[in-house]
Structure 1
Amino acid sequence: MRDGTDFVELARIWRGPVVESVHRGTVVVADFEGRLVGSWGDAGLMTFPRSALKPFQAMALVESGAAEAYGLSDEYIAMACASHDAQPFQTALVSDWLGRLGLDESALVCGPALPRREADQATAFAEGGPRRLYHNCSGKHCGFLTVARHLGAGLDYGNAAHPAQRLYLEILSDYIGRDASGLPMGRDGCGLPALALPMRDLAKAAARLSLGYSANPARRAAAKRVLGAMQAHPDHISGMDSATSRIFRATQGRVVLKGGAEGFVMALVPERGLGICIKIADGSSRAKYGVLARTLGHYGVLPVAEAEALIDQVNDPITDSTGALVGGTEIVFEKPVPTTETKATLGFWLGGVKEAFF
């Protein structure tokens, strides 16, 4: 963070009549040429998109010919893009995928984990406890393993210098319009390299991906297949009836999205050639999908009334231990009716909003 305008107030958490928490963040919208369509906060903010980059990683699986070589349907392509809940249908796909490669889960770089949902956790404990198969990134790791197998490379795909990682960097470089190998690199929670990049660059890359942009015909075909797989299998991307799948269905696939850890989400709007990136400053994920829904209404991707209804569908209710509703999440940026009294602070309106239209 460089100054107070890097992030603006995006959401408030209410408990009864009092604001209990405030989520600040940045929203960036760009077109395929990298022109800034809109920005709340600093569009140049450098951050880690984390799992939001998975669609670009999955493109290597298709472009290399690995997906075809191993007979992978679109369900597997969607799983390569997924941060999944380890529901039975998802772990069955990962298990089958490893079998196609002649490998078991010990080949996965990611560590053992448990399913996200309590019912599935009970089954997991009954069957032996945490497994690498259950890790929410195991589909992505299968994708890298498949590319490694197809290229005849070693299985140390977690190495940044591995051919599978280099192919991914080449693809990302094409979409951001500069060499991605020079970007700051950390390590993701699943053990693979994690890149940081300016939000404006990723918004441009998302817009380009939405249009299948590339001078490389195989890459254009890969982009089309990855997006088609995500649109066809929204429940694979996270879990059944997740916020992600609700947005896919509410927009009838006209918006393709992928969340990332620490409050990040990327969305693509193919019919408009737009890329949207959202980062919640404190790393919380509970407001990011509501912020995305408001953004979709702001740009007419959804009618305003539908976008506002979608906010309620993707914001988790705030309840007590009995399940009684005790609070809620309010998205405060860019109210659809600006003449209506807002609960956003005066400082938000005077110091936070930056929008540029071209």
Structure 2
Amino acid sequence: MVSPKKMTGYAFLVTSLLLCALFAVIAAYLVDRSPHTDDAFIQANIVNMAPEVSGRIITINVRDNQFVHRGDTLFVIDPEPFRYALEQAQANLNNLQAELPLEHLQIGSQVATAKAQGSSVEQMQAQLALAQSTEVRLAPLARQGFVTAQQLDQARSNVKTSLAALEQAIHSQNAAMKSVRDDKPLRAQIVGAAAQLAAAQRDLRLTEVKAPCDGQITGLNIAAGEYAAEGKALFTIIDTEHWWVIANFRETQVPDFHSGQNAIIHVLARPNVVLRGHVESLGGGVQPDVGSLTSGLPQVARNLNWVRIAQRYPVRISLDQPPPELMRIGATVVATIQR
């Protein structure tokens, strides 16, 4: 017969096991309901500030780690050479525009010459018609003896002379018409000069390099006097207008995620501060540990090479009104997705 003391012990043991099982079920439900990962970090866009024109830097208006606003002037490149180029482009355009009225005068003169040649052709046509009619009228009279043969020969000679004069007039008219030019080439040069002027104005404007967004300067280690080369980055701006979290979740969890799901973020630097966000997008792939050499994909290392574990895929979580004092690229966070 079991003693009451042993019965009490058995009951306590069974109750403890049942409670442990209940807690395990609750924990599994909560984990499934709100999956989380501590393999996550804060991220933001960065802008590598490179000038679009080359030249000597004469002014730097910012310092390293300074916060700037969109449109603030960061540094200034010596504008003097670009002013000279602008003046040259303006002078070239003015010269071409001044030539346009003279071109029109020359074209008008050529058109008048062509019209004059046209009048000469009409005159030669009239002379030829008169000579031909005279020949036709004298031919029967010569046969009847009313005019001499010399007069008929003279009439025939006049026809030939008038015909040659008409051909010469037509040739001169064609030459005069071909010599008439239009102003299209000059207008094309004016368009090209205007484009060069616009490019010179743009280059001069770009000597003042302005902030493209609100952000924080980082990696600044130059001073006035440095030569800035076009397209070569001098420092970086962290875009503070938009922050998000890259959270790497197991591939068994990602299929249950979708854009718009709410997320809770805890920053390791301030665990008691709760940040809110929402799933913006799901990663489409990662660089495998072995095999494929596909470039351009994020690499997420597996912790245990001798055990087959689930791959992790990056989930992009946009932060809603994040506190600026906690926002640093690469800061470690714990991300929880609320399903």
TM-score, length-scaled by structure 1: 0.20
TM-score, length-scaled by structure 2: 0.20
Higher percent of residues as strand: 2
**Structure exhibiting the larger radius of gyration computed from Cα positions:** 2
Name the structure, 1 or 2, with higher relative contact order (CA <8 Å, separation 6+): 2
